[in-house]
Chains A and B, each alone.
Chain A
Amino acid sequence: MRFPAWPRLVEVSRLLMRIVLGALFLLGGAAKAYDPGTFATEIQRYNLIPWLPGAIAAVYLPWLEILAGLLLILRRFERGALLLITCLLVVFTFALASATFRGLGIDCGCFGKAFAATGTIFPLIRNVLLLAFTACLWFGRQ
Chain B
Amino acid sequence: MTAVRQALLILLAALIPASLTAAFHPRRPAWSQEALAPGEETLPTILNWGDNLFWVDARSAEDYAAEHVPGAILLNLEDWDRLFPKFLDRWSPGQRVVVYCSASTCELSRDVAERLRKNGISPVFVLKGGWEAWKSKR
Contacts and interface: CB of A to CB of B under 8 A. Distances in A.
A and B bound? Answer: yes
A58 B22 CA distance: 9
Nearest to A105: B123
Interface string B91-107: 00000100000000000
Nearest to B40: A45
Interface string B20-58: 011001011111110110110010010011101000000
Interface stretch (A1-9, A16-24, A46-54, A122-130): A46-54
Given A44-B36, A117-B49, A36 B6 contact: no
A11 to B, nearest CB: 21
A56 B45 CA distance: 21
**Most chain B beta-carbon neighbours within 10 Å: one of A80, A84, A103:** A80
Given A77-B6, A84-B7, A105-B96, A34 B22 contact: no
B123 A80 contact: no
Given A36-B27, A116-B49, A64 B14 contact: yes
**Most chain A beta-carbon neighbours within 10 Å: one of B1, B10, B124:** B10
A4 B131 CA distance: 70
B136 interface: no
Given A44-B36, A80-B5, A116-B49, A63 B30 contact: no
A81 interface: yes
B10 A80 contact: yes
Interface string A71-82: 100000111111
B29 A36 contact: yes
Contact of B122 (A36, A54, A79, A103): A103
Nearest to A64: B14
Interface in B110-138: 122-125
A136 interface: no
Interface of B: 1-11, 13-15, 17-18, 21-22, 25, 27-33, 35-36, 38-39, 42, 45, 48-50, 52, 96, 122-125
Ranked nearest first, the 8 interchain pairs of A and B with the lowest CB-CB distance are: A105-B123, A80-B6, A40-B29, A79-B3, A80-B7, A55-B29, A60-B18, A77-B6
